[in-house]
Amino acid sequence: MSKAEKISGGEKEHPGQQNLRSLIFIINGEEEIVEKVNTKQPLKVVAEKALTESGNTKSISDYQAVYNDKEITLDKKVEDYDFPATAKIFLNLNTAGGGTGFKAIC
Amino acid sequence: VEQVSRQYADPSVSQAKFEKELESFFEQYYHWQKKGVFLIKDEFPVCEFLFLTPQLFPLAGVFAVRIDFTNYDAEPPSVKFINPYTGKLIKRPEIPFQFRQKASLEVIALRSNQDTSNGVDICIAIADEYPFICHPGIKEYHDHPFHTGNSWLRLRTEGEGRLYRILQLLHSHSIALVESLHASKPRGHNQVHLQIVQKKPS
């Protein structure tokens, strides 16, 4: 059973925690689950936490967030997306240069 | 399969890291399956992938790569294009489309005499015509004399060179940009020519 499936059953909600949930990020191909996410927060805050907890040292600005094969903005609040419990948000590194090797062969 | 270089790093370390990369791949197997990316061989230090275009009908096999983790991660993985039927390396003209990337300011300046508005092809062939992906995190890029200032050791903990990243790069620069298959029959020819039409990278 994947980590995503484990949490898909959902945790029991406690009074005062209605705005809390888990979110799954895929960073460099590995799952990172951030627990107790306040859905009123911008997604960027949660993504930064996912990066820190997974030991990735690059800044959030070096990544693009992709959900359902579409790039999404990290500026919106978590609740704005209405992610299902098993949603996976991919944080993919932005293109980091390249395409310059032709010069040495000219 | 001939390895790209001799193993000088502790093979047990490279193998453990290779297996970890494959484990991550299998955890995201359905993600890659939907995108048309299939593992066709995995035998340390090499794994091979086939890239299809799920958005085209009839399904078209587009290309295959051999990713070699020899000395990983003292060195980044090598990425070579292969014929999936024979396993032999193929040359640039045998890959029917571009690996387009939005041109950076550096590239625009370097290619000032070229139109870079539709992106630049980062699948580059040198004198022997065997292509490589010109992007950090790939052995052939770091071995290239023009990139000595961008050391792999500086990048290897940052996600570049990971299997996921390499597959994502290969997919997003090629398959993800494929829009349609254009068929034409030039006058005087009996054969229909098929051409993959790609959109501009965003």
**Which three-class secondary structure state does DSSP give residue A75?**
coil
Out of B21, B101, B150, whose CB is closest to A95?
Answer: B101
Q: Do A96 and B31 count as a contact with CB atoms less than 8 A apart?
A: no
- Say if residue B129's pLDDT is above 90: no
Rounded distance between C-alpha atoms, residue B161 and residue B139, angstroms:
8
Task: Tell me the one-letter amino acid at B95.
Answer: I
Find the closest chain A residue to B126 by CA distance: A105
% pLDDT > 70, chain B = 97
Question: Is B112 near chain A, with CB under 8 Å?
Answer: no
In sequence order, what are the beta bridge partners of A90? A26, A66
CA A67 – CA B33 distance, rounded (Å): 16
Cis before B45 (ω within 30): yes
**Cβ of B37 under 8 Å from any chain A Cβ?**
no
By Cβ distance, the residue of A27, A56, A103 closest to B110 is A103
| CA gyration radius, chain A | 16
Alpha-carbon distance A15 to nearest alpha carbon in chain B (angstroms): 34
Nearest-by-CA chain A residue for B112: A103
- CA-to-CA dists, residue B35 to B23, B43, B58, B66, angstroms: 18, 23, 15, 18
If one compares B153 and B106, the residue with the highest pLDDT of the two is B153
Q: Does B107 touch chain A (CB under 8 A)?
A: yes
Residue with tokens 């949603």: A87
B110 to A101: CB separation less than 8 angstroms, yes or no: no
So what's the ipTM on this one? 0.80
Please check whether residue B76 touches A, CB under 8 A. Answer: no
Alpha-carbon gap: A14 to the closest alpha carbon of chain B (Å): 31
Cβ–Cβ below 8 Å for A96 and B137? yes
B188: distance to nearest CA of chain A, Å? 37
pLDDT at B82 over 50: yes
Chain A residues in contact with B130 (beta carbon < 8 A): none
Compare CB distances from A57 to B106, B135, B157 and report the shortest one's residue. Answer: B157
Poorest-pLDDT segment among A34-48, A50-64, B60-74, B179-193: B179-193
Instruction: Kindly list the residues from chain A whose CB atom is less than 8 angstroms away from the CB atom of residue B145.
Output: 104
Q: Could you tell me if A49 and A84 are in contact, meaning their C-beta atoms sit under 8 angstroms apart?
A: no
Confidence band of B154 (pLDDT split at 50, 70, 90)? confident
Pick B134's closest partner by Cβ from A31, A58, A100.
Answer: A100
CB contact under 8 A, B122 and A98: yes
Highest mean pLDDT among A50-59, B58-67, B190-199: A50-59
How many helices (H) and strands (E) would you count in chain A? 2, 5
In this prediction, residue A4 carries a pLDDT of 53
pLDDT of residue B193: 81
pLDDT in tens, B3-34: 667 889 999 999 999 999 999 999 999 999 99
B168 in reach of chain A (CB within 8 A)? yes
pLDDT in tens, chain A (106 residues): 555 555 555 555 555 567 899 999 999 889 999 999 999 999 999 999 999 999 988 899 999 999 998 999 999 999 999 999 999 999 999 876 665 655 433 2
Number of alpha helices (DSSP H) and beta strands (DSSP E) in chain B: 6, 10
Interface residue B136 vs chain A (CB under 8 A): yes
